[in-house]
Amino acid sequence: MTKAYAFLASIAVVAALATAGTAANGRTGFEIVMGKTRSGEKAIQTYIDTGKKSYSAGDYFLTTGPALDKVGGKRIGGVAGVWTIVSQAADNASVIIHLPDGTVYMDGLMRHTAKQNVLQLRGGTGAYKGARGTATWRTLPGDEIAIRIAPSN
């Protein structure tokens, strides 16, 4: 895991830029940003070392944080994720985003050096029930990540 990903996992605070739409039922997608809030609210992150001492395959990070309507904005939900280390180059991510109209689930491989990673939507609750499509994660300036949720047609 690169220092940038370790930093991002440790501050996995989600700010929703737009929640107009879902990843299911033919509606449009939305985008969120992971970063710091203006009020200083941060995610809680725990590293679990399961094997030999230090960062190695099988270890994982647990992260929870607030979901905001925009960067530094009003809290509208939350995010929770598990990043399982599969190699020095990649983690398997399983992420749940809770929003006022439901919860969306995603998972997939995240390569540490990639500028963009694509996770698969695996379903959800409420407005996101049956969600399928992709969640594209891309690095932004300032060690933040934009996550674009796009439904499949």
- Going along the chain from its start, the domains and CATH numbers come out as 3-151 (2.40.480)
d(CA 103, CA 77): 9
What's the pLDDT score for residue 36?
58
d(CA 84, CA 81): 10
What's the pLDDT score for residue 29?
79
Question: Which residue do the tokens 């690169």 mark?
Answer: 2
Contact 67, 81 (CB under 8 A): no
Pairing assessment for the beta strands 14-18 and 60-68 based on DSSP bridges? parallel
What's the pLDDT score for residue 53?
85
Burial status of residue 147 (CB atoms within 10 A of its CB: 0-12, 13-18, 19 or more): buried
Q: What is the pTM (predicted TM-score) of this model?
A: 0.76
Q: Which two tokens stand for residue 23?
A: 């990843």
- Select from 39, 38, 48 the least CA-distant residue to 9: 48
pLDDT tens by residue, the chain, 153 residues: 444 444 344 333 333 333 333 344 445 677 777 665 666 676 778 899 997 888 889 999 998 877 766 656 667 778 899 999 999 999 999 999 888 889 999 999 999 999 899 999 999 999 889 999 999 988 776 666 677 888 885
Contact 135, 117 (CB under 8 A): no
Contact 134, 23 (CB under 8 A): no
d(CA 14, CA 32): 7
The alpha carbon torsion through 51, 54, 55, 58 (nearest 10 deg) reads: 10
